[in-house]
A and B are shown apart, each in its own frame.
Chain A
Amino acid sequence: MSEDDRPANDANGAVELFRRLPDPAVREELAERFMPLARHLARRFAGRGESVEDLIQVADLGLLNAIDRFDPERGVQFTTFAAVTITGELKRHFRDRGWSIRVPRSLQESALLVHRTLETLWQDLGRSPTISEIAAGADLTEEAVIEAMDAIQAYSPASLDAAVSEDGTPMSETVGTADPSFEVAEGWASVAPALEKLPDRERRILYLRFFKGMTQTEIAQEVGISQMHISRLIAQSLERVRREIRGPEARERGASEPEADRR
Chain B
Amino acid sequence: MEDLSTPITVNVAARPDALHILRVVAASAAALLELPFDAVDEVRIAVDEAGVLLLDSSPEADALQLEITTSDGSLLITIGTDVPAAEWPRPVDRESWSWTVIRGLTLDPRFVSGDDGRPAIRFRTRPPVKAP
Q: Residues of B contacting A227 with CB < 8 Å? A: 37-38
Whether the pair A261, B19 counts as a contact (CB closer than 8 A) is yes
Q: Which chain B residues numbered 20 to 57 have a C-beta less than 8 Å away from chain A? A: 20, 23-24, 27-28, 30-31, 34-42, 44-45, 48, 52, 55
Q: Which chain A residues numbered 213 to 253 have a C-beta less than 8 Å away from chain B? A: 215-217, 227, 230-231, 234-235, 238, 241-242, 245-246
Task: Check if B86 is an interface residue, CB within 8 A of chain A.
Answer: no
Q: Which chain B residues numbered 84 to 102 have a C-beta less than 8 Å away from chain A? A: 95, 97-101
Q: How many CB-defined contacts (below 8 Å) exist between A and B?
A: 106
- Tell me how many residues of A have a C-beta within 8 Å of chain B: 45
Q: Residues of A contacting B28 with CB < 8 Å? A: 142-143, 146
- Tell me how many residues of B have a C-beta within 8 Å of chain A: 36
Whether the pair B36, A128 counts as a contact (CB closer than 8 A) is yes
Describe A's contact surface by its main secondary structure.
helix
Q: Residues of A contacting B35 with CB < 8 Å? A: 130-131
Q: Which chain A residues numbered 163 to 203 have a C-beta less than 8 Å away from chain B? A: 187-188, 190-191
In angstroms, Cα B55 to Cα A125, docked, is: 39
Task: Check if A127 is an interface residue, CB within 8 A of chain B.
Answer: yes
Q: How close is A50's CB to chain B, nearest CB, in angstroms? A: 14
Closest A residue by C-beta to B104? A210
Task: Check if B17 is an interface residue, CB within 8 A of chain A.
Answer: yes
Q: How close is B112's CB to chain A, nearest CB, in angstroms? A: 19
Q: Residues of B contacting A118 with CB < 8 Å? A: 37
Q: Residues of B contacting A143 with CB < 8 Å? A: 28
Tell which of A5-13, A63-71, A147-155 binds the partner. Answer: A147-155
Q: How close is B64's CB to chain A, nearest CB, in angstroms? A: 13
Task: Check if B7 is an interface residue, CB within 8 A of chain A.
Answer: no
In angstroms, Cα B15 to Cα A56, docked, is: 20
Whether the pair B101, A238 counts as a contact (CB closer than 8 A) is yes
Whether the pair A149, B40 counts as a contact (CB closer than 8 A) is yes
Q: How close is A144's CB to chain B, nearest CB, in angstroms? A: 11
Whether the pair A216, B97 counts as a contact (CB closer than 8 A) is no
Whether the pair B103, A235 counts as a contact (CB closer than 8 A) is no
Q: How close is B115's CB to chain A, nearest CB, in angstroms? A: 26
Known contacts A44-B17, A261-B19, A262-B52; A150 and B36 CB within 8 A of each other: no
Closest B residue by C-beta to A128? B36
Whether the pair B97, A191 counts as a contact (CB closer than 8 A) is yes
Known contacts A132-B31, A263-B48; A187 and B103 CB within 8 A of each other: yes
Q: List 20 A-B contacts (CB under 8 A).
A: A44-B16, A118-B37, A128-B36, A130-B36, A131-B30, A149-B44, A150-B44, A187-B100, A191-B100, A215-B38, A216-B38, A217-B36, A227-B38, A230-B38, A231-B41, A238-B97, A238-B101, A262-B48, A263-B23, A263-B45
Contacts beyond the supplied A127-B132, A261-B16: 18 A-B pairs with Cβ under 8 Å: A44-B17, A127-B36, A128-B38, A131-B35, A131-B40, A149-B44, A150-B24, A187-B95, A187-B103, A190-B95, A215-B38, A215-B129, A216-B38, A231-B37, A241-B97, A246-B97, A261-B20, A263-B45
Q: Give A contacts to B, CB under 8 Å.
A: 44, 47, 118, 125-132, 134, 142-143, 145-147, 149-150, 154, 187-188, 190-191, 209-210, 215-217, 227, 230-231, 234-235, 238, 241-242, 245-246, 257-259, 261-263
**Closest 4 pairs (CB-CB, A-B):** A128-B36, A216-B38, A131-B31, A187-B100
